[in-house]
């Protein structure tokens, strides 16, 4: 069954009655025995919420019966709050006396074809009625649901009278088709089925009613009281008051957040959640239950790394594999295998949890009944068997910022209790292992499984559509390992290189050599005729010719995620499968290298020889002097004023430049004096950390800033009370001339803490802003798609682009920028 | 699913102009003969067909994700000094949001003015920059005083050459004034007797009257970029600046979307949204394909007027009621739809997700109609 369209409209009293199965009027809900009263708000005809009971209307049990509407006859009509504003617009548009539209019939003819809004029609209205020539009194809308004409308050009864008199032809001009405006003033109130507002039985046996039921009880009670009072002939003011109260209750029943109206509360003082509140907001029906749904066949647990499994695999703990199932139809060919699963039952992996008989009935397999079930299994049965190796699963980590946040992996059932993934797929998920959790979903139909495999598998998402480069690549230690292997001319004995190569590949031929260099070992895994030239992260030249690494180290620029040039080219020229194989080989190799050689870092990596410490000390002293000079110049008014800036800003700029230069110089000193150690190696290869981190630990932290400026807040004209007022020297403005290793003074520490706090707040603010921006962008762009005629259209079939992206190229299928004609020519003609 | 079958044979598809141009360039630089050219063209075509979007691709979501995923890494800091020029501009995430919001006026309106060949030197540029800075009467006067004796306002000017222009300006903008030019000042006398307070008000008005330069241009700085001398301004007035003879109207730009849209047209606005958004992201070292930004620019200018992304713009005017209701202002959209008797046709993604139906894009875009052979036919 397919929903093709939904028409929105206003329900009319006739229809309310026709929809309803019961007319409700009793103020009590339950009788003394605790059974729902007929005619009360929990009328058994309205559906069932308790298990074991059958619906009085349709005979269905819980789950089968969706519930049925009832209705309440309102003693006096009441305005629907949400439509009050529209009612006001309508009332202004019609004659106060004869209810004809206040527009000249001649004018109407002119505008008939156009669909004008209420506001535009208002502009055309006359002061006097063109039909009965009566004067029009001034109408006022008293928020939220009252109206007055001059001094006289218009009761809903009067409103209805006026609206009822509007002839249909006038309504058509206004734009009311198939609907009557008097329906906006309620005379009958539909009572939603109990399934919409189920009551909960607490352990104590006490019944706790839903917020909506509470609200409806109020409405029914006041309605009855109003009726009694009218029957008794009570004075007008009492009736008015009760009527107003009824209006209030019905108003808050629809929306409990009307401005100017105190919200209806529960006895405990909690504000009730009524109809509008159920739909609104992120947790409401629309965004919370319709746009996003909870699903079965999913699992979530902590993730941990496993370099031994391939990039398109996911390690699934056995406990989870025994809980998640895949339905398999039994045929003659797989009958025996299926029987084995059933024999294993729910507690032994690989077993099965349920069988579905050909008639559609589900049966749970238990250790007790499994023997029995095995016997009855014939082709046509469906077995929900445990997850096993090779099954397709969707793997996801939130926040799902791009499509690579959900990818299809192949299952590997493993011991332990965490999901395992290869480190190379960390970048697309933006995952690390400091306690991150991820979700796993198992597609249940063959169609879904195939689709997941063809469209969502990791191999299909190597190239990010954002920048047309590989987003999957070597990561952290994998880069360290390759760098360690390929940097310089390291020699490996026959025993060593055999072990390295065999760890990766058991089939590859071992070269007949006494020794191999690291570069040669790496080259084994390169495609045979592969050539590339690129610049390493350090600026060194890297040359690969015909599948041989000739010069330069392999680092982040070569094989890293996002900027790996070698990976980029391999994916492009040899395809995704070759990419997968290559990446897995070299990363396995990298890990093996690290395991053989060892790789550890120490705080002593940041030790500097005495002369370097002295050099840095002198440098910081120099900076201090330079800045002092600038300040002196500034004080004498001799500073060079930069275009468009005040002298003070120019000074700040000059200081900033001096400081930046000094940091660069310190970096050079560090580069010169630091022995080649593992920390430096990580920074150089791009595996982790940067030289800035080392400078900050070994030499100095530098200037602490807030909003890009030097520190300036705190006390009046100074950052700390022990500085002179107006002191703009380095120390007084948050310059930290010491490194983390030598330690900070309390004041420097404080400056650093200020800086840290700023970036912390910045981060949380940023995620919120960019999150909302994403929501808006998706809201604006979600329906755009490429049609068969190669145009981009929205859901109303409007053409947004005649050729997507002006050239029709999919960024996830091309290299950065577009198709490189030159390189194609290169390949063709050399 | 082979790409070939979806997109037809290679003969039917022409290469986009950009690629044809590139082929031409390569043919020229490599001195290829006709045969080689055809071979190259065929190869490029093969790659082109392989790399095209497949029908059903949700390019919109792709663009939205590609832009906002890296946006998480942008700075929140609001201002920075553009280049070496001392012009403070909004940048980073706030600027990106500003562009997509299509604000009537950017937080920091700036212009980059390029000069025509003959004015492309420091002297001319400095002179032009000086000339376009907005000056009001206060800016060109030494002192401003109210003469209570004869109920008039005295303005002492720094440069009497401007006196005539000021007088004319005042006459045009304010009524019932008598203006006398003296040797070093001008005096303004209202025709009717005014109270002191009214005189003060009048003085205030005259002080802020525009005299010289271009309105809105609060500051202008000359800067060198490559071979060009260009002027960065704070404040923007594209219309007036384009009227200057000295400037290169092909390259001169402002960062105000609406101004571009008014002065240069909607296509200009579309390009500008693209360029600015891309620039903002590239400044932060973020790599985003043009195609994504292009789509945002296109959807924002689809109707011919610049529309913002978000509740009052593109997202708020989706065709589907349910999608709109789910986005923001749920109740408003539902109420409005009911009075107008609107219909939701379930052509979009959100609506179909809501009711658990297959979405009409990607593999859900088509239906398969299989015609099974009858039993007897099989035999």
- Smallest Cα distance from B375 to chain A, Å: 21
CA distances from A241 to A25, A78, A220, A728 (A): 21, 13, 16, 71
Contact present, A639 and A648 (Cβ < 8 Å): no
Residues of chain B found within 8 Å of residue A767, distances taken between Cβ atoms: 72
How many domains are there within chain B?
Answer: 4
Tell whether the model's pLDDT for residue B209 goes beyond 80. no
Residue A598 distance to chain B (closest CA, Å): 34
Tell whether B139 and B195 lie within a shared domain: yes
pLDDT at A106 over 50: yes
The rounded distance, in Å, linking the Cα atoms of B52 and B3 is 9
Residue B203 covered by a domain: yes
Q: What is the pLDDT of residues A144-191, one digit of tens each?
A: 888 888 888 888 888 888 888 888 888 888 888 888 888 999 999 999
What is the structure's pLDDT at B64?
94
Q: How far is CA A87 from the centre of its chain?
A: 39
> Are the beta carbons of A810 and B344 separated by less than 8 Å?
no
Hey, is A259 helix, strand or coil? coil
B349:A782 CB<8 A: yes
CA dist A823 → A572, A748, B18 (Å): 12, 55, 16
For domain A477-597, give the CATH superfamily: RNA polymerase Rpb1, domain 3 (1.10.274.100)
- Check whether B84 has a pLDDT greater than 60: no
Least reliable range by pLDDT among A33-42, A599-608, B75-84, B316-325: B75-84
**Contact status of B10 with chain A (Cβ, < 8 Å):** no
Give the lowest-confidence range in A63-67, A313-317, A354-358: A63-67
Which pLDDT belongs to residue A1?
61
pLDDT at A477 over 80: yes
Residues B308 and B328 grouped into a single domain: no
B330 lies in some domain: yes
Residue A385's pLDDT is: 95
Yes or no: say if A190 and A71 are a contact pair by the CB < 8 Å rule. Answer: yes
Would the CB atoms of B319 and A795 count as touching at under 8 Å? yes
Give the model's pLDDT for residue B9. 43
- Based on the fold, state whether residues B17 and B46 are members of the same structural domain: yes
Kindly give the interhelix angle for A84-93 and A156-165, rounded to the nearest 10 degrees: 50
Q: Average pLDDT, stretch B217-230?
A: 84
Question: Is there a domain that residue B204 lies in?
Answer: yes
The CATH number of residue B143's host domain is 3.30.1360.40
Closest residue on chain A to B21 (Cα):
A821
Please list, residue by residue across B160-180, b when 16 or more beta carbons sit within 10 angstroms of its beta carbon and e when fewer do: eebbeebbebbeeeeeebebe
Q: Domain residues for B95?
A: 55-108+255-313
Per-chain mean pLDDT for chain A = 90
Whole-number pLDDT of residue B58 = 94
The superfamily CATH assigns to domain A21-68+192-287 is RNA polymerase II, clamp domain (4.10.860.120)
Residue B119 lies in a domain: no
pLDDT tens for residues B250-278? 999 899 999 999 999 999 999 999 999 99
Tell me if B121 is assigned to some domain: no
- What residue spans in chain A does CATH classification 1.10.274.100 cover? 477-597
What percentage of chain A carries pLDDT values higher than 90? 53
pLDDT at B2 > cutoff 60: no
CB A582 within 8 A of CB A524: no
Indicate whether B43 belongs to any domain.
yes
The Cα of A734 is separated from the nearest Cα of chain B by a number of Å equal to 19
Which residue blocks in chain B are alpha helix, DSSP H? 3-7, 17-30, 34-50, 59-71, 92-101, 122-132, 163-173, 196-207, 238-243, 257-264, 266-283, 290-300, 321-327, 330-339, 349-354, 375-378
CATH number of residue B333's parent domain: 1.10.150.390
Average pLDDT over every residue of A179-208: 88
Tell me if residue A664 falls in helix, strand or coil.
helix
Average pLDDT over residues A658-684: 88
Residues 6+ apart with CB under 8 A from A367: A345, A346, A347
CATH architecture of A603-744: Orthogonal Bundle (1.10)
Q: CA of A184: which chain B residue's CA is closest? A: B339
The two structure tokens encoding residue B166: 């000021």
**In whole angstroms, what is the distance from residue A463 CA to residue A570 CA?**
12
Residues of A in contact with B45 (CB under 8 A): none
Residue B95 lies in a domain: yes
* Predicted model pTM: 0.88
Task: Tell me the chain B residues in contact with residue A816 when contact means C-beta distances shorter than 8 Å.
Answer: 287
**Does residue B350 fall inside a structural domain?**
yes
Task: Kindly tell me the burial class for residue A51, based on how many C-beta atoms sit within 10 Å of its own C-beta (0-12, 13-18, 19 or more).
Answer: exposed
Mean pLDDT of A520-545: 92
* Beta-carbon separation of B65 and A9 below 8 A: no
Q: Which of B252, B228, B229, B230 is nearest to B239 (CA)?
A: B252
**Rounded Cα gap, residues A727 and A717, in angstroms:** 8
Q: Is residue B248 scored above 80 in pLDDT?
A: yes
Which chain B residues touch A809 with a CB distance below 8 Å?
Answer: 48, 51-53, 291
- What's the rounded mean pLDDT across residues B195-212? 78
CATH number for the domain that contains residue B79? 1.10.1790
Contact status, residue A53 vs residue A61, Cβ threshold 8 Å: yes
Q: Which residues of A touch B39 (CB under 8 A)?
A: 828
List chain A residues with CB under 8 Å of B353: 290-291
pLDDT confidence tier of residue A549, bands split at 50, 70 and 90? very high
**A142: β partners:** A146
Nearest CA in chain A to B43: A824
In the CATH scheme, what is the code of domain A298-461? 2.40.40.20
Q: How far is A698 from chain B (nearest CA, A)?
A: 27
- Alpha-helix runs per DSSP H in A417-457: 426-429, 446-451
pLDDT band at B378 (very low <50, low <70, confident <90, very high): low
Q: Using the beta-carbon criterion (under 8 Å), do B361 and A770 form an inter-chain contact?
A: no
A177 and B362 within 8 Å at the Cβ level: the answer is no
B25/A691 Cα distance (integer angstroms)? 43
Out of A455, A653, A774, whose CB is closest to B64?
A774
Domain with CATH 4.10.860.120 in chain A: 21-68+192-287
């Amino acid at each position: 069954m397919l929903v093709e369209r939904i028409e929105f409209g206003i329900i009319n009293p006739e229809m309310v009655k026709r929809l309803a199965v019961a007319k409700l009027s009793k103020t009590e809900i339950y009788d003394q025995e605790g059974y729902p009263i007929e005619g009360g708000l929990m009328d058994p005809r309205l559906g069932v919420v308790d298990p074991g009971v059958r619906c009085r209307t349709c005979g269905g049990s819980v789950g089968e019966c969706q519930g049925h509407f009832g209705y309440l006859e309102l003693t006096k009509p009441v305005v629907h709050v949400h439509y009050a504003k529209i009612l006001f617009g309508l009332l202004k548009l019609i004659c106060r006396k004869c209810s004809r539209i206040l527009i000249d019939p001649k004018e109407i003819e002119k505008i008939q074809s156009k669909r004008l809004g209420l506001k535009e029609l208002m502009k055309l209205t006359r002061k006097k009625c063109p039909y009965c020539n009566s004067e029009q009194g001034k109408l006022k809308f008293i928020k939220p649901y009252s109206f007055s004409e001059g001094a006289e308050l218009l009761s809903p009864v009067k409103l209805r009278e006026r609206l009822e008199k509007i002839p249909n032809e006038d309504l058509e001009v206004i734009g009311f088709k198939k609907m009557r405006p008097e329906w906006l003033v309620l005379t009958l109130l539909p009572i939603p089925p109990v399934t919409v507002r189920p009551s909960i039985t607490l352990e104590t046996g006490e019944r706790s009613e839903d917020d909506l039921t509470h609200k409806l009880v109020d409405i029914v009670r006041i309605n009855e009281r109003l009726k009694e009072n009218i029957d008794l002939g009570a004075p007008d003011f009492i009736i008015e008051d009760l009527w107003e109260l009824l209006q209030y209750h019905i108003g808050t029943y629809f929306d409990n957040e009307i401005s100017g109206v105190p919200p209806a509360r529960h006895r405990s003082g909690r504000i009730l959640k009524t109809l509008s509140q159920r739909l609104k907001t992120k947790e409401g029906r629309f965004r919370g239950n319709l746009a996003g749904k909870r699903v079965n066949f999913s699992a979530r647990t902590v993730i941990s790394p496993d370099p031994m499994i391939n990039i398109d695999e996911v390690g699934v703990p056995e406990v989870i594999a025994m809980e998640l199932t895949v339905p398999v139809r039994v045929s003659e060919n797989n009958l025996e295998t299926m029987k084995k699963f059933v024999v294993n039952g729910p507690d032994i992996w690989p077993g099965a949890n349920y069988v579905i008989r050909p008639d559609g009935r589900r049966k749970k397999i238990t250790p007790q009944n499994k023997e029995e079930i095995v016997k009855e299994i014939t082709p046509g049965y469906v077995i929900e068997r445990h997850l096993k190796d090779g099954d397709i699963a969707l793997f996801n980590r939130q926040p799902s910022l791009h499509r690579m946040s959900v990818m299809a992996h192949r299952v590997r059932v493993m011991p332990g209790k965490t999901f395992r993934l290869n480190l190379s797929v960390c970048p697309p998920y933006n995952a690390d292992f400091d306690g991150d959790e991820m979700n796993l979903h198992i597609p249940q139909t063959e169609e879904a499984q195939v689709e997941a495999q063809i469209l969502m598998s990791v191999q299909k998402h190597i190239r990010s559509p954002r920048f047309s480069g590989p987003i999957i690549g070597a990561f952290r230690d994998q880069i360290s390992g390759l760098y360690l292997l390929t940097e310089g001319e390291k020699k490996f004995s026959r025993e060593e290189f055999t072990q390295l190569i065999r760890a990766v590949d058991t089939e590859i031929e071992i070269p007949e050599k006494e020794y191999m260099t690291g570069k040669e070992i790496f080259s084994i895994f390169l495609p045979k005729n592969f050539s590339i030239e690129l610049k390493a992260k350090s600026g060194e030249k890297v040359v690969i010719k015909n599948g041989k690494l000739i010069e330069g180290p392999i680092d982040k620029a070569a094989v890293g995620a996002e900027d790996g040039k070698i990976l980029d080219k391999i994916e492009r020229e040899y395809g995704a499968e070759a990419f997968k194989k290559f990446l897995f080989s070299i990363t396995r190799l990298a890990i093996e290298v690290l395991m053989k050689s060892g790789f550890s870092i120490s705080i002593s990596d940041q030790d500097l020889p005495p002369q370097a410490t002295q050099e840095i000390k002198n440098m910081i002293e120099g900076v201090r002097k330079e800045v002092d000079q600038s300040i002196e110049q500034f004080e004498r008014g001799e500073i060079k004023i930069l275009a468009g800036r005040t002298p003070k800003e120019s000074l700040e700029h000059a200081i900033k430049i001096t400081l930046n230069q000094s940091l660069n110089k310190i970096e050079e000193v560090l580069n010169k004096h630091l022995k080649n150690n593992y920390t430096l190696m990580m920074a150089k290869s791009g595996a982790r950390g940067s030289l800035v981190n080392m400078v900050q630990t070994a030499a100095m932290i530098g200037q602490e800033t807030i909003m890009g400026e030097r520190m300036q807040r705190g006390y009046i004209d100074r950052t700390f009370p022990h500085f002179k007022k107006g002191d703009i020297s380095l120390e007084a403005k948050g310059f930290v001339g010491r490194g983390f290793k030598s330690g900070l003074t309390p004041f420097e520490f404080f400056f650093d803490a200020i800086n840290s706090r700023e970036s912390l707040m910045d981060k949380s603010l940023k995620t919120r802003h960019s999150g909302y921006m994403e929501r808006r962008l998706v809201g604006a762009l979600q329906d755009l798609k490429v049609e068969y005629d190669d145009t981009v259209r929205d859901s109303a079939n409007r053409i947004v682009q005649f050729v997507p992206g002006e050239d029709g190229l999919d960024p996830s299928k091309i290299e950065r920028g577009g198709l490189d004609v030159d390189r194609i020519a290169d390949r063709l003609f050399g | 699913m082979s790409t070939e079958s979806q997109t037809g044979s290679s003969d039917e598809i022409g290469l986009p102009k950009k690629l044809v141009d590139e082929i031409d360039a390569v043919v020229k630089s490599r001195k290829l003969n006709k045969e080689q050219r055809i071979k190259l063209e065929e190869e490029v075509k093969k790659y082109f067909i392989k790399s095209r979007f497949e029908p059903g691709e949700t390019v919109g979501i792709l663009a939205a994700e590609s832009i906002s995923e890296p946006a998480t890494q942008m700075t929140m800091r609001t201002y920075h000094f553009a280049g070496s020029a001392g012009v403070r501009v909004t940048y980073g995430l706030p600027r990106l949001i500003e562009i997509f919001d299509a604000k009537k006026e950017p937080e920091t309106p700036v212009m980059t003015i390029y000069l025509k060949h003959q004015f492309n030197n420091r002297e001319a540029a400095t002179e032009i920059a000086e000339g376009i800075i907005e000056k009001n009467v206060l800016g060109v006067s030494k002192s401003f005083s109210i003469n209570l004796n004869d109920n008039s306002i005295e303005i002492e000017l720094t440069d009497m050459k401007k006196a005539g222009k000021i007088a004319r300006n005042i006459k045009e903008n304010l009524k019932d004034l008598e203006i006398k030019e003296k040797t070093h000042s001008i005096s303004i006398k209202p025709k009717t007797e005014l109270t002191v307070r009214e005189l003060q008000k009048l003085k205030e008005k005259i002080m802020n009257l525009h005299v010289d330069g271009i309105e809105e241009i609060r500051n202008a700085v000359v800067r060198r970029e490559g071979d060009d001398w260009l002027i960065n301004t704070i404040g923007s007035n594209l219309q007036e600046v384009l009227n200057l003879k000295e400037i290169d109207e092909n390259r001169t730009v402002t960062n105000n979307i609406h101004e571009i849209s008014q002065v240069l047209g909607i296509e200009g606005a579309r390009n500008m949204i693209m360029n600015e958004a891309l620039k903002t992201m590239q400044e932060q070292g973020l790599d985003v394909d043009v195609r994504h930004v292009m789509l945002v620019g296109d959807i924002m200018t689809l109707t011919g007027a610049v529309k913002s992304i978000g509740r009052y713009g593109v997202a708020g005017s989706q065709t589907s009621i349910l999608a709109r209701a789910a986005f923001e202002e749920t109740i408003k959209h539902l109420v409005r739809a009911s009075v107008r008797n609107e219909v939701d046709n379930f052509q979009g993604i959100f609506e179909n997700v809501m009711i658990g139906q297959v979405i009409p894009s990607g593999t859900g875009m088509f239906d398969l109609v299989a015609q099974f052979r009858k039993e007897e036919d099989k035999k």
